[in-house]
Amino acid sequence: MQTTEGITINQVRLDERIEQLSRIGRIADTGVCRLALTLEDMEGIIQVRLWMEEAGLTTRLDAFGNLIARLEGTDPSLPLLMLGSHIDSQPYGGRYDGAVGVLGALEAVQCLMEQGIQPAMSIEVVAFCDEEGSRFNKGLFGSRGITGQLEEGELERQDKHGVTRREALESFGCSPAQFAESVYPPGAIGAYLELHIEQGPVLESIDAPVGVVTGISGPLWLTVTMKGMAGHAGSVPMEMRHDALVGSAKVIAAFDEMVREDPGAPTVGTVGSLRVFPDSRNIIPEEVSFTVDLRDMEMARRDRLEARLMQLLEDISKQHGLSYSLTVDTNSEPRYCAERIKSMIHSSAEAMGLTLPELMSGPFHDALALSHVCDYGMIFVRSKDGISHHPSEYSSPEDITLGTEVLYRTVRQMCNGHTVIDTFS
């Protein structure tokens, strides 16, 4: 059993804030539903903003819907240090995903101020807008927004009720016409640190409360639409049908088997959303849309699986007399954490009597977007039973405290000038 020494952060304050935030959008006793740019999301932002301002930070809500709190440094010429995560959730989500990263970052900076440490560089704590992507089927919106990575057509994406992202932003008081003003100039962000729950079983399996992330796997998100012909379920013979749901089901099953072929690989594949039209029990399905989520740390292997999926779509469409189309919603290569930041995280933990294991991240995070403009590092906190995106998601207060203390000490190292924050190149 590892022992820890010298906890500086205010654990009680952090625990109370996590619990209070979890009451906003509460579902299923312990879960939350705070979809991006909804009333519940705004209520969460108002609460977190209040805590930020009580801590003495200046705050703003930018054009992308990001909540940003700033501590001014003594040297405005230096690139800033950014910390954060998100507070939006999945529709059937847990209390800790994202929230621990935002509130842990706030606690680290507030503790820094209470210790009388004056940083040379400015520090910003960010609650990024729509990391999850569950409402408009494309995530990392706020973090991609400030780094100039948005794509054409993103504002016209619709949720399940036909509300566009543009409309949702405007209802939030955010103006897409001001996007350019909210994009950070090249070199403005010197480094990014993110604390997050692991959302997987690795740390628990080795009895480690906290870990250092080595990198984030490359996600490929697709939306596939297969089209056939509707008909009466009682009168069209089986051999004459063009059933889009049967074809989709065969693709989905074959895709799952394909991803499982190498059990030693970190490859994961998921079909998490499916829509059927006209969606009646006695009509042959004419059109089916489903999502594909494929992730891997090795791009060559992911590319091979993508090619096989494309061939699978072609073959099954011909077999059932269907047509198909697809859109690429997200496509990113794996992004690796900066060695110098990993070293600081390790040394911060060692000063506490902790030896941190290293592990990769299968889920993507806002750090993925920031990795394209600056060096980044991530700290993981153990997840009970590896469960996340579910109301039973749980990380203990003790583990969260350790992770936040490591974050605080890493930030303190940077402020003391032990490692210079260089502009990303």
Tens of pLDDT along 343-389? 999 999 999 999 999 999 988 899 999 999 999 999 999 999 999 99
Residues 107 and 9: beta-carbon distance below 8 Å: yes
Per-residue pLDDT at 250 exceeds 50: yes
β pairing state of 375-381 and 189-197: parallel
Which pTM value belongs to this model?
0.85
Q: Which CATH superfamily is domain 11-217+334-415 in?
A: Zn peptidases (3.40.630.10)
Place of tokens 């989500």: 93
Per-residue pLDDT at 396 exceeds 90: yes
Looking at every residue in the chain, the average pLDDT score rounds to: 94
Residues 401 and 5: beta-carbon distance below 8 Å: no
Q: Is 389 annotated as a binding residue?
A: yes
- The secondary structure of the chain in percent helix, strand, coil, rounded to multiples of 5, reads 35, 25, 40
**DSSP string covering 177-237, please?**
GGHHHHSPPTTSEEEEEEEEE--SSHHHHTT-SEEEEEEE-EEEEEEEEEE-B--BTTTS-
pLDDT at residue number 214: 95
User: Residue 60: how many CB atoms within 10 A of its CB?
Assistant: 12
Question: What are the pLDDT digits (tens) for 147-174?
Answer: 999 999 999 999 999 999 999 999 999 9
Question: What are the pLDDT digits (tens) for 365-378?
Answer: 999 999 999 999 99
Q: Is 385 annotated as a binding residue?
A: no
Phi/psi at 67 (5° precision): -90, 120
pLDDT-derived band at 420, boundaries 50, 70, 90: very low
Both tokens of residue 158? 């619709």
Fold of 218-331: Alpha-Beta Plaits (3.30.70)
**What is the mean pLDDT of the segment spanning 189-198?**
98
Q: Is 86 annotated as a binding residue?
A: yes
pLDDT at residue number 424: 38
pLDDT-derived band at 218, boundaries 50, 70, 90: confident
pLDDT at residue number 417: 58
> What letter does residue 29 receive in the DSSP assignment?
T
Residues 266, 10: Cα–Cα separation, whole Å = 37
pLDDT at residue number 266: 86
Per-residue pLDDT at 307 exceeds 60: yes
**What is the mean pLDDT of the segment spanning 396-404?**
98
Per-residue pLDDT at 421 exceeds 50: no
**What is the mean pLDDT of the segment spanning 58-84?**
97
Residues 6+ apart with CB under 8 A from 45: 61, 67, 87, 127
Q: Is 390 annotated as a binding residue?
A: no
Domain ranges across the chain: 11-217+334-415, 218-331
Residues 220, 230: Cα–Cα separation, whole Å = 31
